[in-house]
Amino acid sequence: MRKILFFSALLLSLVWIPQVFAANVAASPETCLECHEDIVSAEDFTASVHGANGCSACHTDLVANLEAHMDGEFMPAEVACVRCHKAECGEFNNSVHSFDNPNVNFKCYTCHTDIHSHKAWNGDKRIATKKCAECHEDAHNEYHESIHGKAIQAGNMDSAACLDCHGLHSIKPIGKRGTKEAQAFHTDACQKCHGDHELMEKNGVYPIAVDTYLQSYHGKNYLLGFPEKVAGCTDCHTAHYILPNEDPRSSLNPDNLVKTCAKCHENSSEQFAKFYAHGKMTDRENYPILYYTYISMTTLLVSTFAVFWIHTLLWMFRGFAENREKKKALIKGAHHEIKDAHKIYRRFTRVHIFMHLLVITSFLLLSLTGIPLKFAGQPWAHWMMDFYGGAANAGYLHRVGAVITFVYFAMALFMSARFLFKGLQYPAEFFERLFGPESLCPNLRDIQDVTAMVRWFLFLGPKPSFDRWTYWEKFDFIAVFWGMFAIGGSGLMLWFPEFFGAALPGWVFNVATIIHSDEALLATGFIFTVHFFNTHGRPEKFPMDFVIFNGELPKEEFIEERGDQWKRYEEAGILEQYEKEKPSGVVYDFFIKGFGFMALLTGLALLGLMIYAFMTGGGH
Identify the CATH number of the domain in which residue 497 sits. Answer: 1.20.950.20
Q: What is the mean pLDDT of residues 323-328?
A: 85
My answer on whether 172 and 48 are in the same domain is no
Residue 522 · residue 304 · CB < 8 Å: yes
Burial tier of 350 (Cβ tally within 10 Å: 0-12, 13-18, 19+): exposed
User: Is residue 118 included in any domain, yes or no?
Assistant: no
44 and 138 part of one domain: no
State pLDDT tens for residues 291-318.
999 999 999 999 999 999 999 999 999 9
Does residue 408 share a domain with residue 302?
A: yes
pLDDT in tens, 258-293: 999 999 999 999 999 999 999 999 999 999 999 999
In this structure, the answer to whether residues 191 and 60 fall within a common structural domain is no
In a domain, residue 84? The reply is no
Task: Please indicate, yes or no, whether residues 140 and 218 belong to a single structural domain of this protein.
Answer: yes
Statement: residue 5 has pLDDT above 50: no
Do 363 and 319 fall within a single domain?
A: yes
420 with 515, same domain? yes
> Same structural domain for residues 466 and 422?
yes
In a domain, residue 314? The reply is yes
For residue 166, being part of any structural domain is answered with yes
- In a domain? residue 86: no
**HEC sequence for 6-50:** HHHHHHHHHHHHHHHHHHHHHHCHHHHHCCCCCCCCHHHHHHCCC
pLDDT confidence of 496, banded at 50, 70, 90? very high
Average pLDDT for 492-499: 96
Q: At 344, give phi and psi (nearest 5°).
A: -95, 135
Query: Does 303 lie in the same domain as 414?
Result: yes
CB 381 within 8 A of CB 375: yes
| Domain of residue 233, residue span | 125-274
Provide mean pLDDT across the span 353-359: 97
Query: What pLDDT does residue 277 have?
Result: 94
Domain count, the chain: 3
Residues 315 and 255 in one domain: no
pLDDT at position 148, please?
96
Instruction: Pick the last residue of a domain from 40, 57, 77.
Output: 77
Other CB atoms within 10 A of residue 176 CB: 8
Question: In the predicted model, what is the mean pLDDT of residues 157-183?
Answer: 90
Asked if the model's pLDDT at residue 21 lies above 80, the reply is: no
| Residue where a domain terminates, one of 274, 307, 342 | 274
In a domain, 505, yes or no: yes
Determine the pLDDT at residue 14.
Answer: 40
Q: Are 131 and 61 in contact (CB under 8 A)?
A: no
Residue ranges of the alpha helices (H) in 336-378? 350-374
Q: How far apart are CA 561 and CA 584, in angstroms?
A: 22
- Tell me: do 265 and 297 sit in the same domain: no
Instruction: Give Cα separations from 95 to 89, 91, 298, 614 (angstroms).
Output: 10, 6, 49, 41
Calculate mean pLDDT across residues 559-580. Answer: 94
- Indicate if the pLDDT at residue 11 is higher than 70: no
Predicted confidence (pLDDT) at residue 19 exceeds the cutoff of 70: no
Taking the alpha carbons of 368, 514, 257, 231 in that order, is the dihedral positive or negative? negative
Q: Within this chain, do residues 237 and 301 fall inside the same structural domain, yes or no?
A: no
User: Model confidence over 185-211: pLDDT tens digits?
Assistant: 999 999 999 999 999 999 999 889 999
The last residue of one of the domains, among 77, 110, 136, is 77
What is the spatial distance between Cα 532 and Cα 545, in angstroms, rounded to a whole number?
A: 10
Angle at 60 between CA 56 and CA 64, to 5 degrees: 95
Label residue 461 by pLDDT band (50, 70, 90). very high
Predicted pLDDT at 619: 55
Element (H, E) at 58: helix 55-58
Residue at 515 is within a domain: yes
The average pLDDT across 548-566 equals 93
Any domain includes 94: no
